[in-house]
Chains A and B, each alone.
Chain A
Amino acid sequence: EDKVVQSPLSLVVHEGDTVTLNCSYEVTNFRSLLWYKQEKKAPTFLFMLTSSGIEKKSGRLSSILDKKELFSILNITATQTGDSAVYLCAVRVGGGSEKLVFGKGTKLTVNP
């Protein structure tokens, strides 16, 4: 059974802190790994990773994939209250039909 596990499940930090969110996976037909941010609405896309060791960056957010150890991390530097959200990790699996397998998410709260 395909599985995606995120840790921690929740995290509370102060503005300015740096956080690292973890995502590990066990799937049969890996295509890519995606990160989403979900506030009080539908998830919005952050990053897609397919190759090991190549960091994707967008402002204060960055992510990297390790295909040998089957995990990814999402880093947020200099956190702001607007970063408070649930961060979802998903693995796109291929084969006969394509789908995403989601982790349960990490709820990040950034306090002023």
Chain B
Amino acid sequence: DVKVTQSSRYLVKRTGEKVFLECVQDMDHENMFWYRQDPGLGLRLIYFSYDVKMKEKGDIPEGYSVSREKKERFSLILESASTNQTSMYLCAALTSGSSYEQYFGPGTRLTVT
């Protein structure tokens, strides 16, 4: 069974802290994504990566960075957390091959106080 896991389900951090959100997939998928989901705004793409060490900005990259040192792991970094980054963060993986499903992780609900 395919799986995308995220390091934390719930996280509370203080303003100004550096925050790492980890995502691991066991499907050997090339493409990985970080989204945030907020009421009324839907899923918004922060960053994505189509290969190791490759990354592209999504729609709302400001205040975030990413790291993909290994194919199975894609990390989202908040360099200096702010209260407007309080959100649900979803990681996903997608293959470029014949399979078409984008598999989501369970999500991390981050609260920045």
Contact = CB atoms under 8 A, between A and B. Distances in A.
B94 A100 contact: yes
B31 interface: yes
B104 A42 contact: yes
Nearest to A48: B100
A42 B56 contact: no
A45 B48 contact: no
B24 interface: no
A69 interface: no
B89 to A, nearest CB: 11
B50 interface: yes
B54 to A, nearest CB: 8
B100 A104 contact: no
- If over half of B's interface residues share one DSSP class (helix, strand or loop), that class is named, otherwise mixed; here it is strand
Interface size bucket, B side?
Answer: 20 to 34
A62 interface: no
B30 to A, nearest CB: 9
B102 interface: yes
A66 B66 CA distance: 37
Contacts of B33: 99-100
Nearest to B42: A104
Contacts of A97: 31, 48, 50, 56
B106 interface: yes
Interface in B3-52: 31, 33, 35, 40-45, 48, 50
Interface of B: 31, 33, 35, 40-45, 48, 50, 56, 58, 90, 92, 94, 96, 100-107
7 contacts: A34-B102, A41-B106, A43-B90, A97-B56, A98-B31, A100-B92, A103-B42
Interface of A: 32, 34, 41-45, 48, 88, 90, 92, 97-105
